């Protein structure tokens, strides 16, 4: 079997503490000892996954990153799709004219609009690792996707329209928006891995919690939502497990007799 795990709100709590329950570590390590494959499946880009201490502590067979645009298995990149160069300036110009806060996410760096005041998210990410922050105006930048935050008075609908020829929009709520290249999603990442191992989709299990997990939760039969997950998704999944801090991962894997 292959089990795909979201990160934020699934493996770790979404607050500043980013708590990783001991039961989650035990459950996923037991899952792998039982001969199953464990993959991260996240909107985060690669560097923002593999260098995290909690990911290293658990241990995974591979990573589906950037909503399916970057896939790595046992240290080898199997797929890496970047936003085309001729689209870069259009994104930046649209963000500036529509007054939205922009962060481009690459396999090695975050790119921010340094001409704008530093937002709270940028302050937090910069304080963690300033070496990973770059300017959206930097030539030769490479990124897989991007996110925006609404500012007071911004023209978010006009921005969606401006980037819609290239990107699928995911409304994450509270003024936070995610944009992925068309033809890539967490669901396409699952299909890529299933094809790689010549496994039917019924052998795939997915565990998530929020709206950017919707594509993968709807893609396979064995879809699992965290108990702390988005209420609107609960009717769309096969099983709702316990909250993250109530041993939700362990409970789900036990429910399906994977551990």
Residues 119, 147 share a domain: yes
pLDDT for 122: 64
Host domain of residue 249: 2-81+184-255
Last residue of a domain, one of 181, 203, 221: 181
pLDDT for 235: 96
Q: How far apart are CA 248 and CA 246, in angstroms?
A: 5
Last residue of a domain, one of 118, 151, 181: 181
The phi and psi torsions of 46 (rounded to 5 degrees) equal -60, -50
Radius of gyration of the chain, Cα coordinates, nearest whole angstrom:
18
Domain containing residue 72: CATH number: 3.40.50.1000
Residues 176, 119 share a domain: yes
> Please, what sign has the CA dihedral across residues 226, 216, 40, 184?
negative
pLDDT digits (tens, 9 = 90+) for 194-245: 999 999 999 999 999 999 899 999 999 999 999 999 999 999 999 999 999 9
For the chain (259 residues), the mean pLDDT of every run of 10, in chain order, is 97 91 98 98 95 94 98 96 97 96 95 77 65 91 96 96 97 93 97 98 97 95 97 97 98 98
Residues 93, 18 share a domain: no
User: E strands within 151-240?
Assistant: 167-173, 176-181, 204-208, 222-225, 239-240
Residues 193, 75 share a domain: yes
pLDDT for 206: 98
Residues 92, 70 share a domain: no
Task: Write down the pTM of the prediction.
Answer: 0.93
Residues 74, 15 share a domain: yes
Residues 74, 95 share a domain: no
Residues 204, 170 share a domain: no
Residues 172, 193 share a domain: no
pLDDT for 106: 97
Residues 95, 212 share a domain: no
Beta bridge partners of 181: 167
pLDDT for 131: 83
Domain count, the chain: 2
Residues 190, 64 share a domain: yes
pLDDT for 102: 94
Last residue of a domain, one of 181, 207, 231: 181
Residues 114, 45 share a domain: no
With 0-12 / 13-18 / 19 or more C-beta atoms within 10 angstroms meaning exposed / middle / buried, residue 56 is: exposed
Domain containing residue 95: CATH number: 3.30.1240.10
């Amino acid at each position: 079997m292959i089990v795909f795990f979201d990160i934020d709100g699934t493996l770790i709590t979404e607050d500043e503490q980013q708590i990783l329950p001991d039961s989650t570590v035990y459950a996923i390590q037991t899952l792998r000892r039982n001969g199953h494959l464990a993959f991260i499946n996240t909107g985060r880009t690669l560097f923002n996954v593999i260098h995290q201490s909690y990911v290293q502590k658990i241990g995974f067979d591979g990573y589906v990153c950037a909503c399916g645009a970057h896939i790595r298995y046992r240290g080898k990149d199997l797929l890496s799709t970047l936003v085309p160069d001729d689209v870069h300036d259009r994104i930046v110009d649209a963000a500036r004219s529509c007054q939205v806060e922009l962060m481009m996410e690459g396999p090695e760096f975050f790119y921010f609009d340094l001409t704008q005041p530093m937002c709270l998210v940028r302050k937090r990410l910069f304080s963690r690792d300033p070496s990973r922050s770059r300017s959206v105006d930097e030539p030769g930048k490479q990124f897989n996707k991007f996110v925006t935050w609404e500012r007071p008075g911004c023209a978010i609908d006009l921005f969606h329209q401006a980037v819609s020829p290239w990107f699928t929009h995911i409304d994450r709520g509270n003024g936070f928006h995610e944009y992925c290249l068309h033809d890539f999603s967490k669901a396409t990442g699952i299909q890529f891995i299933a094809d790689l191992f010549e496994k039917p989709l019924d052998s795939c299990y997915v565990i998530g919690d929020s709206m950017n997990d919707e594509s993968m939760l709807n893609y396979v039969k064995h879809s699992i939502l965290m108990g702390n997950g988005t209420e609107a998704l609960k009717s769309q999944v096969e099983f709702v497990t316990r909250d993250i801090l109530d041993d939700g991962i362990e409970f789900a894997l036990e429910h399906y007799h994977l551990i």
